[in-house]
Chains A and B, each alone.
Chain A
Amino acid sequence: MKLIAIIKKEYREIVKKKSFIISTILTPLLMAAFMFLPVMLMKMGKGEKIIQVADYSGFIYEKLLQSEKTPSTAKTAPGGRKADFNRDYVDKNTRAEGSKLKFKKIATAGLAAEELLKQNIQAIRDKKIDGFLLIPQSIKKDRKLFYYSGNISDFETNKYIQATIRTVVSRQILIEKQINPEIVNEATRNIEFETIKVKKEGTAKSSAGIEYMMSLFMLAILFSILMGYGQLIMRGVLEEKNSRIIEILISSTDTQHIFYGKIIGIGLAGLTQVAIWFLFGMALVGKFSMGLDSGILNFLTLEIGLYFIIFFLLGFFMYAILFSIVGAAVNTDQEAQQFAAPISYLLIIPFVMGIMVTQSPNSSVAVISSFIPLFTPTLMFMRITVSPPPLLQILSSIFMSLVFISFLAWLGAKIFRVGILMYGKKPSLKEILRWIRYK
C-alpha cells in the first residue's frame, strides 16, 4: 500500500512536469522531421531560379530549354547517374526536383565574353538573376563550362547543369563522328547495385545507409532517455536527502519501499512516454507511409518496437539504480555530477562501440560486449536492429541483465539506506563500499 503511494507520487510528479510534456511532444516531431524532411524538401522545391545563358557554342541552349520544359517526377534511382545518350537532351535522374530552373538566352553575337560576364555578375549581385552560365565556343574540345552564382553550393542545380550539358556535348560529338548514340549508350550503361538484407523470414529490399542511420538514431534515443531519466532520479533522491524529507519517509515506511517505489514510479513515467511515442510513431507511419523511404518502413517493425521497450526497461533499471545510489551518496549537485560522470561513460562506451557494431554486428567483440549487462540494453538492441542474433542469445542476454539488475537492486538498497542519511563531507568510494556491510 505504501509502496503504491510512493510509486503514484513519483509517477505523478514526473508526468506533470512541463519538461515531460514538452519532450513527449517534441521528440516525435523531431523524429518525424528526421524521417520526412529529406523527402519533403525534395518535393517542396526551393522556388524558381533564373539562369542567364551565354551560349558561344551555338547548339547547347536549345537542348537546355527542352530539358527545362520536361516535367520530371522520377526519384533518384539507386546508382543511376549516367548519361543516357539515347535520349535527346537530359539525364532525368539528375534532374533537380527541388529547384525549378528557368534558362534565359542572351545574345552573344559580336559581344566579348568578358563584357557579358561583367554585366551578369552585376545582375547576380543585384539579385536580378540567380546564375550566369557561360558556355565557351571550345566546349567540345576543352569540355569546360563556367557557372557564376551567388550560391554555388546548390548541389542539385550544379549537378543538373553539368550532367545535362555533358550529355548534350557528348551526343553532339557522336553525331558529328556519325556514331549511333544508341550503341554508345548500350555499351556504357550503368550497372545497378542493389542491396538486399537477409532477414529471418524472407528478404527485404533495403538501403544500407538508412538502416545504419536508423540504428544509430534509435540508439541515440535510448541513450538520451537513459541519461535523462537517470539524472532525474539522481536529482530527485538528492532533493529528498537535502530537504531531509527522507527522514519522514524512512520513519513512515521501509527504505526498500522508498527505493523501489521511486525507481518503479519514474520507470512507469518513462514507459508512458515511450508508449506515447510508440503509438504516435505507428499512427504516423500508418498514415504517411507513402511519403517514407521504404528503408525506414522496413526498419520500424513491431518486433523492433517491442525489443526497444524491453531493452529500454532493462537499461532503465540498471542506470536508474546506479544514479539513485549516486543521489543518495552525495550532498550537492556538483558532487552528484562528479559521481555521475563515470556512469555516463558507461553509457557512452556502447554508443561509441555502436558504430562498430552496426558495421560488423557478428564480430566477436560485438557479440561479447553485447553480453556485458551494462552494455546489453544498447549493444544487444543494436545487434538486433542490424542483424538479428539467434533468439537464444537475445534471451540469455536479457536473463543475464535481469540477474545483474537484481544484484544491483540489492546492493543499491543497502547503499541507499546508509548514504541517504549521511550528511557532510563527500564520501570516498571506499566508504561507500563499507556502507554495504552496515546493518
Chain B
Amino acid sequence: MNEQALSLNGLVKDFDGKRAVDQISFTARKGEILGLLGPNGAGKTTTIRMIMNIIAPDQGSIEIMGRPFSDKMKDNIGYLPEERGLYRKMKIMDVLVFLGELKGLKANMIRERSRRLLQQFDLDQYEQKKVEELSKGMAQKLQIIATILHEPELLILDEPFSGLDPLNIELVTRILLEKKKEGVAIILSTHLMEYAEKIVDSVVMINQGRKVLDGKLTELKAQYGKKFIRIEYEGDGAFMSGLDYVKGYKDYGREMEIELIDLADKNRLLKELSARVSLNAFQLTEPSLQHIFIRKVNEGVAA
C-alpha cells in the first residue's frame, strides 16, 4: 500500500523576482496522509497550485501516479482550495451536479452519490436550499463533499479545518481516515500543527519557500526522543526563565513544554516546580510538531 501517488522534484516558482517556492521536493504515497505544514505565506498554497497545474513551475517536475501531469488526471484529483466559496445563488444539488460534471461524472450518478454524502455530512435536508442559506461551517462541509464526490485517488486539502466546529472537525477527520483506508493519498496543508499532529503519517515542513523538514511523523519524533517534559499547572510560571538547566520552554498558561539541557535534571525541575506552582501533571514526552518546527526554523536562521 505504499505506492507513490505524487512526487515533486525540485519545484521552483518566482513571482516578480521574489522566490515563492525554492527547490521543493517530496513524495506522497497511497493510503497515507501527508501534512504539508508551515506558517502563513510559507509557499504551501503556491506549491499546491503548481501540483494542480493552476500555475506552471519555473523549474522542476511533478509526477502524479508516476506520470507527468495531464488534463485527464484532473478527474482523479480532489482539490479543496484554501479560500472557499461556492455559487451563492445556486441550489446545493445543482452545485454538486455542476462540479461533478466538471469531473466527468454523469448527472444521475452524481445525484445518487451526493444524497449519500449529504446524509453522511448531516446536510440532507438542505438539498434544495441555496448555498447562501447555509452557515459557514455547512458551506465548508458542502465543499468537502464536492471535493470527494468523484472518488479521487489523490486528495489535496488546503486548510480543511478552518471554520469548522469541533464536532465537524471530528466528522471530517473520520472521513479522511476512511479515505486513507481506501488507499487514497491525502495531502493536508495546514498551519494548525496541533490538528495535523493527530492524523498525519508523514510531514513536509516548509518555511519561506524552502523545505525544512521531511519524514514520517513517528521517525521525526523519535529523532528528538522523549527529551521534553510537559506539565499542567496552576500559578505563575515566570520563574522558569531564571533556571539555568532549562534549555527552553513554551508556556501556554496552564500547560508548559520544557526542554532540559540534560534530562538528568528532571527531578531537580520537579522539586522546583512543586515549590512554586500547583502541579497537576508532569510527563516525559516527545516534542510537539510545533516545537520541532520552531527549532528547525531557528536552526535555519542561525545557519
Contacts and interface: CB of A to CB of B under 8 A. Distances in A.
Q: Do A and B bind each other?
A: yes
Interface of A: 1-2, 5-6, 8-9, 12-13, 239, 242-245, 247-254, 421, 439
Contact of A251 (B52, B56, B82, B88): B52
B79 A247 contact: yes
B89 A248 contact: no
B67 to A, nearest CB: 17
Nearest to B89: A13
Identify whether the interface residues of B are mostly helix, strand, loop, or mixed.
loop
A323 B176 CA distance: 41
B56 A439 contact: yes
Nearest to A6: B102
A87 B85 CA distance: 80
A248 B87 contact: no
Given A2-B101, A245-B85, A253-B102, 12 more contacts: A1-B101, A8-B101, A9-B94, A13-B90, A244-B82, A247-B54, A248-B99, A250-B52, A251-B52, A252-B102, A421-B54, A421-B55
A2 B102 contact: yes
A242 B54 contact: no
A9 B97 CA distance: 10
11 contacts: A2-B102, A242-B85, A243-B86, A243-B87, A248-B102, A248-B146, A251-B54, A251-B74, A251-B79, A252-B103, A254-B71
B99 A252 contact: yes
Identify whether the interface residues of A are mostly helix, strand, loop, or mixed.
helix
Q: How many of chain B's residues touch chain A, expressed as a range? A: 20 to 34
A248 B90 CA distance: 16
B69 to A, nearest CB: 11
Contacts of B81: 244, 247-248
A251 B53 contact: yes
Nearest to A423: B83
B225 interface: no
A253 B74 contact: yes
B163 to A, nearest CB: 14
B98 interface: yes
Nearest to B55: A421
Contacts of A239: 87-88
A1 B104 contact: yes
A247 B156 CA distance: 12
A5 B86 CA distance: 16
A6 B101 CA distance: 9
Interface string B87-113: 111100010001101111000000000
B56 A249 contact: no
